[in-house]
């Protein structure tokens, strides 16, 4: 399978959060120095400035740590998907990773084969993931065994937005076709419960990806249209 890394938003975000964390640590250290100097010189305003700066920087540091954890999970999920697709598909498939959207976000993977064009969103959340009439819900268990809701939002809405944007882009190039949206959960510990039919989307765990795609691959894209799609997608991926 041919792989094209269009953008590396997650990697860039991880780098930015690491840089922000290092900066906050330096500011916190400087704040403590300011407090010590203020105490030695008996300068109350300097002490207060140091305390306020230390508190603000500490909050910003913890936010960077949390963001780094979230982006790290996302990056791990994308890597798992990349490896799985590499194992599943022959050389005539093309996977575009980090395909850009006009709002500054990206699609985790746009997969072009001889049969179907996919928009694939990965989620590396753990715990219990449920999709019901009430929508998506993530339930996790804390260290003391207490259940609480996780931060999973609305992956369906995310995929529908990506589908709309990609369809609009291809339509502007004179290409009309059905694009299959998919959400795949990559964390091996996740418990996935689908009580409501997610149609027209496909929702599955990463270990079920081969079976799901083998069923979908009974569809076909005419060769001339596939070449048009590839040309359009490559145009966006070319620096």
pTM tops 0.75? yes
State the DSSP string of 49-76.
HHHHHHHHHHHHHHHHHHHHHHHHHHHH
pLDDT for the residue numbered 219: 67
Locate 105 and state its tokens: 């976000």
Task: Compute the average pLDDT of residues 117-146.
Answer: 88
Confidence of residue 239 (pLDDT cuts 50, 70, 90): very low
Q: What tens digit of pLDDT does each residue of 9-66 get?
A: 666 777 777 888 889 899 999 999 999 999 998 889 999 998 999 999 989 888 887 7
Contact yes or no for 81/184 (Cβ under 8 A): yes
- DSSP-based three-state secondary structure for 25: helix
Locate 133 and state its tokens: 């009439």
Contact yes or no for 131/157 (Cβ under 8 A): no
Q: What backbone torsions phi and psi does residue 52 show, to the nearest 5 degrees?
A: -65, -45
Locate 124 and state its tokens: 């590396």
Instruction: Please name which of 116, 98, 117, 118 lies closest in space to residue 108, comparing C-alpha atoms.
Output: 98
Q: How many domains does the chain have?
A: 1
Q: What backbone torsions phi and psi does residue 140 show, to the nearest 5 degrees?
A: -120, 165
Alpha helices in the chain (DSSP H): 9-40, 44-88, 155-172, 209-216, 223-237
Q: What tens digit of pLDDT does each residue of 67-80 get?
A: 777 767 777 888 99
Spatial separation of the C-alpha atoms in residues 169 and 117, rounded to whole Å: 14
Contact yes or no for 52/71 (Cβ under 8 A): no
- For residue 1, give the H/E element and its range: none
Contact yes or no for 138/151 (Cβ under 8 A): yes
**Paired residues of 204 in beta bridges:** 184
The domain in which residue 23 lies consists of 2-237
| Mean pLDDT score of the chain | 87
Share of the chain above pLDDT 90, in %: 48
């Amino acid at each position: 399978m041919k792989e094209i890394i269009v953008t590396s938003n997650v990697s860039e975000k991880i780098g930015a959060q690491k840089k922000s964390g290092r900066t906050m640590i330096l500011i916190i250290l400087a704040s403590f120095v300011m407090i010590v100097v203020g105490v030695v010189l008996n300068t109350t305003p300097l002490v207060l400035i140091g305390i306020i700066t230390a508190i603000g920087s500490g909050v910003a540091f913890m936010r960077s740590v949390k963001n780094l954890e979230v982006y790290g999970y996302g990056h791990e999920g994308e890597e798992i998907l990349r490896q799985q697709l590499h194992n599943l598909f022959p050389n005539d498939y093309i996977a575009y990773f980090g395909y850009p959207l006009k709002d500054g976000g990206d699609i985790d993977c746009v997969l072009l084969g001889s049969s179907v064009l996919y928009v694939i969103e990965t989620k590396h959340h753990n715990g219990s993931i449920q999709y019901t009439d009430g929508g998506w819900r993530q339930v996790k268990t804390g260290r003391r065994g207490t259940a609480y809701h996780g931060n999973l939002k609305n992956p369906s809405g995310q995929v529908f937005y990506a589908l709309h944007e990609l369809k609009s882009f291809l339509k502007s190039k004179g290409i009309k076709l059905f694009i299959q949206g998919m959400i795949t959960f990559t964390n091996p510990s996740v418990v996935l419960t689908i009580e409501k039919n997610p149609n027209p989307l496909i929702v599955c765990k990463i270990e079920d990806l081969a079976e799901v795609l083998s069923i979908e691959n009974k569809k076909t894209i005419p060769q001339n249209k596939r070449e048009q799609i590839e040309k359009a997608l490559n145009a966006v991926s070319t620096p």
